[in-house]
Amino acid sequence: MSKIVLQTDNLSKKFGEVTAVQSINLRVRQGEVFGFLGPNGAGKTTTIGMVLGLIHPTEGSITLFDQPVTPSHNRALQNVGSLIGAPALLPYLSAQENLQLLAKLHDGVENGRITEILDLIGLSQAADRPVKGFSTGMKQRLGLGAALLHRPSLIILDEPTNGLDPAGMREVRTLIRQLADEGTTIFLSSHLLHEVEQVCDRIAVIRQGQIVAQGAVEELLSQSGQSVKLKVKNPAKAGELLAQLPNATKIVTNGAYVQVSGVESETAVAHLAQNGIIPSEVQSQKSDLESLFLELTK
Ligand SMILES: Nc1ncnc2c1ncn2[C@@H]1O[C@H](COP(=O)(O)OP(=O)(O)OP(=O)(O)O)[C@@H](O)[C@H]1O
Ligand SMILES: [Mg+2]
């Protein structure tokens, strides 16, 4: 398994009475695209602010490349590039001039690197045009390019496709994937499930400041299926029968009830009825993750 490059332990932030982030434990591995998925107000930007040493945690710790990060000790951040929201660009300067200016914030960014980045972000042809004439997607790619100037090995992006049209989103996603394929670790936040599905290897799902799931995207999606709770005369026998269904994942019996995950209620009831068991009560239940995913896709 790859090395962990970013880790948070019981990381929490309160703004007065408001708990924005509550005891979160993130593990981001080298070379992956890690998605931080959550609805508006879930605590994504606050978490990113703490990771970047901009916001003081109320509790907990952050480890970046095996070094602690605090607002006063953040040397590890030299190896991080970030883009939070829309990039700060000077509108009357060209793409190339903006990059040249931003390169001065770092040591030793040679001119060749700027040419290389313009090519990578697909703006070589537009390099000499003033940024004020750029589309939102072009500006966002330029912002991403600026975050790459010093060749960071981790890039942190807060909602990088926010405000882009579908084509712009696709361009940014393609670029992210390309960077990952070249070995850069990427941490990105999003409130769009289909976006993280398309671009991320692993995700953490945050809701009301808490991590409700973390793992490979496919794994989490398969876990998020609905479950059915049935009241039957013989729950143990019913459990055995339900286990025969191909998609049944988890079966729990409790008193007069049996609960099965990954199966539609009609399928469960029909299967039991075929085997002589008629449930006296049927309750469809959505997992926390599924209801969150519904919220994120609607
Ligand atoms: N400086 C602040 N002072 C007080 N409350 C804050 C502050 N910053 C964030 N919050 C609150 O903390 C919670 C988390 O906010 P945060 O911006 O981290 O969410 P988010 O997941 O980034 O949301 P969005 O998708 O809208 O960007 C919200 O309830 C927000 O109102
Ligand atoms: Mg935010």
Q: Where are the domains of the chain?
A: 4-222, 225-297
The strands making up 154-158's β-sheet, listed across from edge to edge, are 80-84, 154-158, 185-190, 33-37, 202-207, 210-216
Q: Which CATH number fits domain 4-222: 3.40.50.300, 3.40.50.620, 3.90.226.10, 3.40.50.980?
A: 3.40.50.300
Ligand in closest contact with the CA of 41: 1
Q: Which tokens is 52 given?
A: 């970047």
Ligand in closest contact with the CA of 40: 1
Ligand in closest contact with the CA of 24: 1
Q: What is the pLDDT of residues 165-187, one digit of tens each?
A: 888 899 899 999 999 998 899 99
Cβ within 8 Å of residue 104, ≥6 positions away: none
Name the region of 209 (left: φ>0; alpha: ψ -120 to 50; beta: rest).
Answer: left
**CA nearest ligand 1 atom 27, residue:** 40
**CA nearest ligand 1 atom 12, residue:** 20
148, amino acid identity:
L
**CA nearest ligand 1 atom 29, residue:** 41
- Output b/e per residue, 131-146; b: 16+ Cβ within 10 A: beebeebbbbbbbbbb
Residues found in the chain: 298
Q: In whole angstroms, give the CA distance from residue 49 to residue 67.
A: 17
Distance, CA 29 to ligand 2 centroid (Å)?
Answer: 22
Distance, CA 37 to ligand 2 centroid (Å)?
Answer: 11
Residues whose Cβ atom is located within 5 A of ion ligand 2: 44-45
Query: Distance between alpha carbon 208 and the CA centroid of its chain, in Å?
Result: 15
Residue 166 CB neighbour total at 10 angstroms: 9
pTM: 0.82
Q: Which tokens is 211 given?
A: 């991590």
Q: Where does ligand 1 bind, in terms of residues with CB under 6 Å?
A: 15, 18, 20, 38, 40-46, 191
CATH 1.10.10.10 fits 225-297, yes or no: no
Q: What is the pLDDT of residues 223-265, one digit of tens each?
A: 666 789 999 999 999 999 999 998 888 899 999 999 998 888 8
Distance, CA 236 to ligand 2 centroid (Å)?
Answer: 47
**CA nearest ligand 1 atom 24, residue:** 40
**CA nearest ligand 1 atom 1, residue:** 15
- pLDDT digits (tens), the chain, 298 positions: 789 999 999 999 999 999 999 999 999 999 999 999 999 999 999 999 999 999 999 999 999 999 999 878 888 899 999 999 888 999 999 999 999 999 998 888 888 999 999 999 999 999 999 999 999 999 999 999 999 999 999 999 999 998 888 888 998 999 999 999 988 999 999 998 888 888 999 999 999 999 988 999 888 777 666 789 999 999 999 999 999 998 888 899 999 999 998 888 899 999 999 999 999 999 987 766 667 777 776 5
